[in-house]
Amino acid sequence: MRFLVRLLCVLALGVLGCAEVVVGTGGDGGTAGTGGAGGVGGVGGTAGMGGTAGMGGTAGVGGMGGVGGTAGVGGVGGMGGVGGAGGPPGEYQQNFELLDQASPTALGDNPSPPWGAGWLIFGFVTEPDGTFVEQYGTFPAPNGTDGFSGIALGQGGPEQGEQQLVIFSDYGNTAQQMAGRRVEASTYRERTIAATDVGTTITFSFDAKRGNINNPADPTCISGNAEETPNPPCDSTAQAFVRTLLPPSFIQTNLKFVNTTALPETWARYSITLGPIVPDLEGQILQFGFAATASNFEPSGVFYDNILVVAAAP
């Protein structure tokens, strides 16, 4: 009966159903795991959205930034905020509105070159003192299960629309959760750093707000309940990140992050910058995304939306 209650808590986040989580071994992890995701291209690129240049005007606000002007091609810039108002091109942008919220593969099967076939996940487990226990992945990101990621409904404001990304720990890893170990669940996208990236700066921006992470009203967060929460109140953590990994060992060579554990319950905009990219990083893996860590099935959900990744030349 306690496990059924846990599933209901996940359903309240906008995540539906359950799935079997395969536990195995993978590349080196830590917070290095292979973590990784992002978009408000369209929302942020107000010049492209409403710029009269995108509508065909010859000298509207969009101008060159709307990538169009007289031919109306600027509408493309407005749709994705790629051109913005003369800003750098958007490598990746996502507001989740066009994804099938009912599909279990909506996130994992979401091609967007050069950022691969879809969102990926990686699990990394440690003892509370940080001692390594296990790691598993990489797998396509799930939707509608009790682990890692999902598409939530109705959590957005005017700028977020109807569908949002929700990230949480892997509650499908029941053995490690029940043992009180720290289960870090990363959801991310990745690509290889090319020679053309050298000298550019990568900026990952996104909207975010607090979900049920460390909610004191959650049954597993009740202070003093030593059986459920050995160190009350809840101590789940969350972050957004950009990082680089050196194959084949996948040692982490750079990490930039924003701590999203204690965000307000209202939407706000955040960004992370990595760069300029140096020649030594060519051939390494570039990842952006989100991670959530929890023990004892404690709540860890955070909402994200309007993801935008931009590579800007100096």
Reported pTM: 0.71
Q: Is pLDDT of 193 > 90?
A: yes
pLDDT at 9: 31
Window from 12-26, 118-132, 141-155, 191-205 with minimum mean pLDDT? 12-26
pLDDT at 224: 54
* Residue owning tokens 């600027």: 74
> Largest Cα–Cα distance of the chain, in whole Å?
68
Q: Is pLDDT of 120 > 70?
A: yes
Q: What confidence category does residue 221 fall into, taking pLDDT thresholds of 50, 70 and 90?
A: confident
Q: What confidence category does residue 59 fall into, taking pLDDT thresholds of 50, 70 and 90?
A: very low
Is residue 275 within 8 Å of residue 202, measured between CB atoms? yes
Q: 252 - beta bridge partners? A: 245
Runs of H (alpha helix) within the chain: 2-12, 41-44, 46-50, 74-80, 174-178
pLDDT at 231: 53
Q: What confidence category does residue 63 fall into, taking pLDDT thresholds of 50, 70 and 90?
A: very low
Q: Is pLDDT of 24 > 80?
A: no
Question: What does the pLDDT average to over 220-231?
Answer: 60
Closest CA to 252 of 292, 296, 209, 287: 287
| Amino acid making up residue 37 | A
280 phi/psi in degrees, rounded to 5: -65, -20
Closest CA to 206 of 168, 164, 237, 236: 164
Helix/strand/coil for 162: coil
Q: Is pLDDT of 309 > 70?
A: yes
Window from 53-67, 106-120, 277-291 with minimum mean pLDDT? 53-67
Closest CA to 120 of 103, 135, 107, 106: 107
pLDDT at 272: 98
Rounded distance between C-alpha atoms, residue 168 and residue 11, angstroms? 12
Rounded distance between C-alpha atoms, residue 264 and residue 210, angstroms? 6
